[in-house]
Every structure is written in structure tokens, then in C-alpha cells.
């Protein structure tokens, strides 16, 4: 007997209206990540370091800039993340690198949504929590090695959480030291994995000692202790060994990084990401106070610890959003068993899907695919958006106009006959673009350069002490950013010994006569 049309309909994947809420939220996030431009500051020098690691081994010194001696030691801690980016670039060019950034971001927020649903039983709450988490990190989506930390953080958090909740057995913990081996070589945020494990160890031990309901028995705490120790040992599998912790301590105490870089400063409610963070904190407190489920000691330690870090620096807000929003949704949800304990969805989410819902889901998928690097240039996006990007061959609508493509090409065509003073972010692109070694002054490897050098850079960029600095250091050319170094541009225009040889909408090149 041939199947009827109703049989075919029942064979289609069931997409309920509740699913569409979270699919819509994830699609909006995915589109935004895919449209987010990549600034030059971190990307290019990391890519160059990846190239050097792949071709001649892990570098250990300055190499690029004359602001400090070329033999000055420098730790390329994110060597694996850098090399991965370079290998991806050699395989598929810049579009594939940006696509991998997009994929990592989409994967991360999908994990947040899935975990939120597992905790709350509601796809609608999952959509809300995921949007909240994404809004907190709206200004932290550029392509850089931190992208490699998103998924390891969430995997570590969710495996530990599910083990404590009884949704995973001890065998799942075995994977966490392996995750740490990757993480410690890919990015410095590996420390967050140790802090997560420490919060679970302390919180669950206190719950056991206080004999709270549903506290883990001692025999179930032992695997938690063992995996935390194994994760700590796994961090030693890196080129620096135990020295990796000295590197992190040095970075956290670097005066230039702490004083000059915005992401090390406290978040401000005057922008969307900062406002979302503070609203998220308030919503979390309201959920804890008014929700039907009280948080555990472990959950309080997690959210308070991550919130404290976030108040100290913008760079930590992403971790707070990832961890706190699923916990907030769980407190807001009606009392019900977690998904996985009964195998049934919440009552209001039961029922079949429809072909119309499936069509909407496919439309959302097509929208996400349309804004990927290979197809985005053909969409006819608004001119103000296109004006954000540099005209880089083979990479349309990927890198911000702050990438000095035309100015660097001008310096290639008409080489400078000596040292170059440059805008900080421009130094990153100069390092990648094979501009002659030791000719640019400074770049975004903030901790490499002494704080006094950064103060000099700020003074010269503002137009103060320009002539003396250029003469004392025998600078022959200047590559400046018209907005960030307007004072320098104005001062150079008054010096008879300097003339401008190049200008576009963003950059200027000046040469000593």
C-alpha cells in the first residue's frame, strides 16, 4: 500500500512553535555574528605568528617592531589558536577563517540555548536567555584567538553541571582534561576552566558538609576532585610548562594592559553590551529572589565569581553571560523535572509540529547561510554597512576600514628609507603584510612594550613633542590614523621637513623631506 500524504507529513521533522522561538533567537545571533566586521588589532599579528609557527617553529622574541629590541622575549601563548587560524587560511583563505569564527560563535550560543532548555524546560526561556547572553558580548565578536575559548568554556561548564545534577555519569568527566590540553595552548582564558572546576569542588563540598538536599555523596564527589586535579595537570602540557601561570600573572599585572585597553576596564551601561550586562545582573538577582527555585551554593559561587570578574573588566562579561543566563532561566521556570529525567517535554510544549513551522525554520537557516563570507558580498547590503570595510583583495566585507591596505601598498610601491612610526592597530597588519622587518614602531602586543613607551606613543599621537621624538629616533616615515591621531597629523602639517605622500579616507603617510 502506498503511503498517504498524511504519512509523509508525519515523517517530516517536527518543529513546534516553541522551537521557533529559540530558532529565531539563534538565527538573529548567527546573522549578527556573521555581519560583525573584524578589526585589525588582534587578527593580523596572530595570523603572522601562526605562519611563523607553521613554517619555522614557535617564535619567542619580538621580531616585528623597532620600539623594543628584536631579541626582546615575548610569549606567544596562543600558539595553537594562531596556527589553527593560519592553517585554515592556507586551506580556504580569509573567508574560511571568518566562517570558522562565525561557526564557533553559533555553536557556543546553541549550547547556551540547549543547556537553558535542559535546566528550565522552556524553549521560550532558552531564547530569552540566549539573546541576553549574546547582547552582553555584542562588542566582543571580532576574529581573534579568544574565539577558540568559547566552546571549551561551555563544554567544561555543562559537563560539570550535568554531572552534579545527575544527568551525566563519571565517564564524561574524563574528557575535561583533554579539553584543557587544547585550551591551554589555544588561549589564555584556559584559567577560566580551572576556576569553573574550583567553584564546583568548593560548592558541592559545602553542600555535602551542610547536608543540603540533593547534595552529592562522598563517592560521587571523589571523581569531581580527581578531574579537577587532572585538569590542573593538563595545563602543564604546553611549551612553557608551569611557566604558563607566571605568564598569566604577568599579563594580569601589566600596567599598560590594565590602564590603556578598554576590554580590561569595567563595563559601562552607556553602550548596549554594558547595559545588557547590568540588566542581566539585576534580572539574575530578581530571579534568585522571586523565582520558584533557589540556586545552589555552587550556582551562587559561579555567578557571583563571574560577575565580580566582569565588574573588573569587559573581557570577562562573555563568560558571565554563558554561565549565568541558563541558571537565571532555571530559577524563573515553573517547578518541573529537568529534561532528561523524565524524557518528556513540558506540558505547554507538547504537541505536533507543522509544515509551516518547518518552512519558517528553513527560511531562517537560509538567512544565516546567506550572510556567510562567500555570499554576503552579493546581497546588496546598505552602503553605510559596506563603508565599514577595507577593500582587501579576496576578502570583501570582512575586515574593517581601519585595516591599512592601500597605505601599506603605497609603502610597498614607494618604500620608506628608514624607521616608520605607526598607529598601534596598523602595526598588526604591517606584521602580516610582510612589510620590511624592524621598520614599524609598535603594535597591539600590549605587554611587549614598556608602559613608558605607550605613554610616549600617546603623547606623539596627540601631537605633543612630535618633532623631538621623530628626530631623536631618526624616524623617516609616519603612517597615521586620521581620527585617532588627529593631533599628530595637524602637527606634521606644520613641520617644513615633512610632507604627505599618501591619503585616503582613514590613513595618511608622511615622509621626511
**pLDDT tens-digit map of 454-485:** 999 999 999 999 999 999 999 999 999 999 99
Same domain, 294 and 410: no
Give residue 397's region: left, alpha or beta (phi > 0; psi -120 to 50). left
Residue 395 domain-assigned (yes or no): no
At residue 343, the pLDDT reads 42
- Does any domain span residue 353? no
pLDDT category, 352, cuts 50, 70, 90? low
Total domain count for the chain? 2
Asked whether residue 263 falls in the same domain as residue 124, the answer is yes
Residue 18 lies in a domain: no
Region 186-196 average pLDDT: 96
Chain segment 52-100, per-residue pLDDT in tens: 999 999 999 998 899 999 899 999 999 999 999 999 999 999 999 999 9
Predicted model pTM: 0.92
Question: Rounded to an integer, what distance in angstroms lies between the CA atom of residue 290 and that of residue 81?
Answer: 42
Residues 96 and 201 in one domain: yes
Q: Based on C-alpha coordinates, what's the Rg of the chain? A: 26
Q: Please indicate, yes or no, whether residues 306 and 212 belong to a single structural domain of this protein.
A: yes
When pLDDT is averaged across residues 275-297 and rounded to a whole number, the result is 89
Contacts of 252 (CB under 8 A, 6+ apart): none
> Residue 223 in contact with residue 173, Cβ under 8 Å?
yes
217: left (phi over 0), alpha (psi -120 to 50) or beta: beta
Beta strand 419-422 pairing with 498-503: unpaired
Same domain for 100 and 175, yes or no, is yes
Percentage of the residues of the chain whose pLDDT score is greater than 90: 79
**Cell 614598556 -> residue:** 450
pLDDT of res. 437: 61
Q: Structural domain of residue 293, as residue ranges?
A: 77-341
Domain boundary (286, 312, 341) is at 341
232 and 150 in a common domain: yes
* In-domain check, residue 19: no
Residue 387 lies in a domain: no
- Flag whether 336 is in a domain: yes
Do the domain assignments include residue 379?
Answer: no
The mean pLDDT of 262-291, rounded to a whole number, is 89
Same domain, 264 and 120: yes
SS3 508: strand
Grid cell in block for residue 1: 500500500
- pLDDT value at 340 more than 80: no
Q: Are residues 92 and 231 located together in one domain of the fold?
A: yes
Residue 411: pLDDT band with limits 50, 70, 90: very high
User: What is the pLDDT, as a whole number, of residue 138?
Assistant: 87
* Residue 54 resides in a domain: no
Span 174-190, mean pLDDT? 97
329 and 441 fall within a common domain:
no
| Greatest Cα pair distance in the chain | 93
pLDDT at 26: 97
Residues 307 and 418 placed together within one structural domain of the fold: no
Among candidate residues 290, 314, 341, the one where a domain is terminated? 341
Whether 11 has a pLDDT exceeding 60, the answer reads no
Q: Looking at residue 350, what DSSP letter applies?
A: -
CA neighbor of 303 nearest in space, from 286, 289, 320: 320
Q: Is residue 326 domain-shared with residue 178, that is, in the same domain? A: yes
Q: Does one domain contain both 334 and 454? A: no
Q: Decide which of 341, 364, 383 is a domain's last residue.
A: 341
The model's pLDDT over 106-161, given as tens digits with 9 standing for 90+, comes to 999 999 999 999 999 999 999 999 999 999 988 889 999 999 999 999 999 999 99
Which phi and psi (to 5°) does residue 473 adopt? -105, 10
Amino acid at each position: 500500500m502506498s503511503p498517504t500524504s498524511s504519512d509523509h507529513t508525519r515523517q517530516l521533522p517536527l518543529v513546534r512553535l516553541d522551537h521557533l522561538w529559540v530558532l529565531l533567537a539563534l538565527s538573529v545571533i548567527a546573522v549578527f555574528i556573521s555581519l560583525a566586521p573584524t578589526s585589525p588589532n588582534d587578527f593580523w599579528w596572530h595570523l603572522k605568528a601562526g605562519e611563523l609557527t607553521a613554517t619555522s617553529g614557535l617564535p619567542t622574541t619580538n621580531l616585528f617592531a623597532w620600539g623594543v629590541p628584536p631579541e626582546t622575549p615575548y610569549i606567544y601563548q596562543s600558539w595553537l589558536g594562531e596556527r589553527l587560524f593560519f592553517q585554515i587560511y592556507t586551506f580556504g583563505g580569509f573567508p574560511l577563517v571568518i566562517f570558522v569564527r562565525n561557526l564557533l560563535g553559533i555553536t557556543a550560543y546553541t549550547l547556551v540555548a540547549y543547556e537553558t532548555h535542559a535546566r528550565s524546560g522552556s524553549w521560550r526561556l532558552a531564547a530569552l536567555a540566549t539573546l541576553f547572553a549574546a547582547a552582553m558580548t555584542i562588542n566582543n565578536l571580532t576574529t581573534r584567538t579568544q574565539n577558540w575559548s568559547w566552546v571549551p568554556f561551555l563544554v567544561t561548564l555543562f559537563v560539570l553541571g550535568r554531572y552534579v545534577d545527575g544527568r551525566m555519569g563519571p565517564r564524561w568527566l574524563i574528557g575535561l582534561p583533554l579539553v584543557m590540553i587544547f585550551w591551554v595552548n589555544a588561549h589564555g582564558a584556559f584559567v577560566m576552566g580551572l576556576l569553573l572546576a574550583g567553584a564546583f569542588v568548593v560548592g558541592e563540598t559545602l553542600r555535602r558538609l551542610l547536608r543540603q538536599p540533593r547534595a552529592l555523596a562522598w563517592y560521587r564527589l571523589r571523581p569531581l576532585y580527581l578531574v579537577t586535579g587532572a585538569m590542573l595537570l593538563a595545563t602543564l602540557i604546553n611549551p612553557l610548562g608551569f611557566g604558563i601561570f607566571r605568564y598569566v600573572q604577568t599579563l594580569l599585572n601589566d600596567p599598560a594592559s590594565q590602564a590603556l585597553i578598554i576590554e580590561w576596564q569595567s563595563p559601562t551601561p552607556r553602550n548596549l553590551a554594558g547595559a545588557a550586562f547590568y540588566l542581566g545582573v539585576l534580572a539574575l538577582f530578581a530571579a534568585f529572589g522571586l523565582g520558584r527555585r533557589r540556586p545552589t551554593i555552587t550556582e551562587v559561587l559561579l555567578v557571583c565569581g563571574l560577575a565580580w570578574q566582569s565588574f573588573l573588566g569587559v573581557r570577562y562579561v562573555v563568560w558571565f553571560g554563558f554561565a549565568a543566563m541558563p541558571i537565571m532561566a532555571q530559577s524563573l521556570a515553573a517547578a518541573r523535572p529537568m529534561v532528561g529525567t523524565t524524557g518528556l517535554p513540558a506540558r505547554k510544549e507538547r504537541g505536533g509540529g507543522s509544515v509551516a513551522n518547518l518552512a519558517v525554520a528553513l527560511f531562517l537557516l537560509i538567512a544565516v547561510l546567506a550572510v556567510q563570507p562567500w555570499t554576503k558580498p552579493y546581497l546588496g547590503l546598505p552602503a553605510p554597512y559596506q563603508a565599514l570595510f577595507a577593500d582587501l583583495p579576496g576578502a570583501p566585507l570582512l575586515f574593517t576600514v581601519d585595516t591599512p591596505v592601500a597605505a601599506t601598498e603605497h609603502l610597498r610601491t614607494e618604500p620608506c628609507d628608514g624607521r616608520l612610526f605607526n598607529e598601534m592597530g596598523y602595526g598588526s597588519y604591517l606584521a602580516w603584510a610582510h612589510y620590511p622587518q624592524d621598520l614599524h614602531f609598535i603594535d597591539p602586543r600590549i605587554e611587549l612594550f614598556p608602559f613608558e613607551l605607550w605613554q610616549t606613543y600617546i603623547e606623539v599621537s596627540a601631537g605633543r613633542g612630535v618633532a623631538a621624538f621623530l628626530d631623536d629616533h631618526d624616524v623617516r616615515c609616519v603612517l597615521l590614523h586620521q581620527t585617532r591621531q588627529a593631533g599628530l597629523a595637524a602637527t606634521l602639517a606644520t613641520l617644513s621637513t615633512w610632507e604627505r605622500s599618501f591619503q585616503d579616507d582613514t590613513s595618511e603617510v608622511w615622509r621626511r623631506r
